[in-house]
Amino acid sequence: MSIRSEIIDGNLAQRSSYGLVYTELLGWVDLGHAQGTDIRNLWSQMLCGESQSGTTYDVTYKQSMIGLKRRLTVGKSITWRLKKGLRYPQKQSVALAMMITVARKFEELQGSFPFSLATDSGFSGEDLVSDLLGFYQVMSCMNNVFSYLKPISKEEALKRWDHYGKIGSWKNETFKPLLFPDPVRSPNGRPHFGQLPDFMKTVTPYNRWTSEDVGIVDPNRGFIRFGREEPRV
Partner 1 sequence: MKKSLIIMLAVLIVCVIGLFYALQYLSMEFSDGADYTEKDKREYNFYTPELLKNMPRVSNAYSFHYSNVSGPNPALTYQVIFFGTTDPFKINAWLEKNGFKKTEMCNKNRYCWVGQDPNMTVSVGFEENPAAILVKMVDKAGQK
232 touching partner 1, by CB under 8 A: yes
Q: How far is the CB of 19 from partner 1 (least distance, A)?
A: 9
By beta-carbon proximity to partner 1, the closer residue of 56 and 153 is 153
By beta-carbon proximity to partner 1, the closer residue of 9 and 156 is 9
Instruction: Kindly state the DSSP code that residue 33 receives in the 8-state scheme.
Output: T
Residue 174 identity: T
The order of strands in the sheet holding 20-23 is 20-23, 27-30, 178-179, 192-193
Q: How far is the CB of 38 from partner 1 (least distance, A)?
A: 4
Q: How many whole angstroms separate alpha carbon 143 and alpha carbon 176?
A: 23
CB 25 within 8 A of CB 194: yes
Rg (CA), the chain: 19
CB 145 within 8 A of CB 21: no
* 146-205 positions binding partner 1, by CB under 8 A: 168
Strand partners, 62: 77
213 touching partner 1, by CB under 8 A: no
* Contact residue for partner 1 among 95, 103, 149, 178 (CB under 8 A): 103
* Contact residue for partner 1 among 18, 193, 209, 223 (CB under 8 A): 18
Q: How many whole angstroms separate alpha carbon 182 and alpha carbon 89?
A: 38
217 touching partner 1, by CB under 8 A: no
207 touching partner 1, by CB under 8 A: no
How far does Cα 170 stand from its chain's mean position? 17
- Per CB under 8 A, residues contacting partner 1 are 1-3, 5-6, 15-18, 30, 32-33, 35, 37-39, 63-73, 75, 99, 103, 106, 110, 114-115, 117-121, 127, 130-131, 134, 168, 227, 230-233
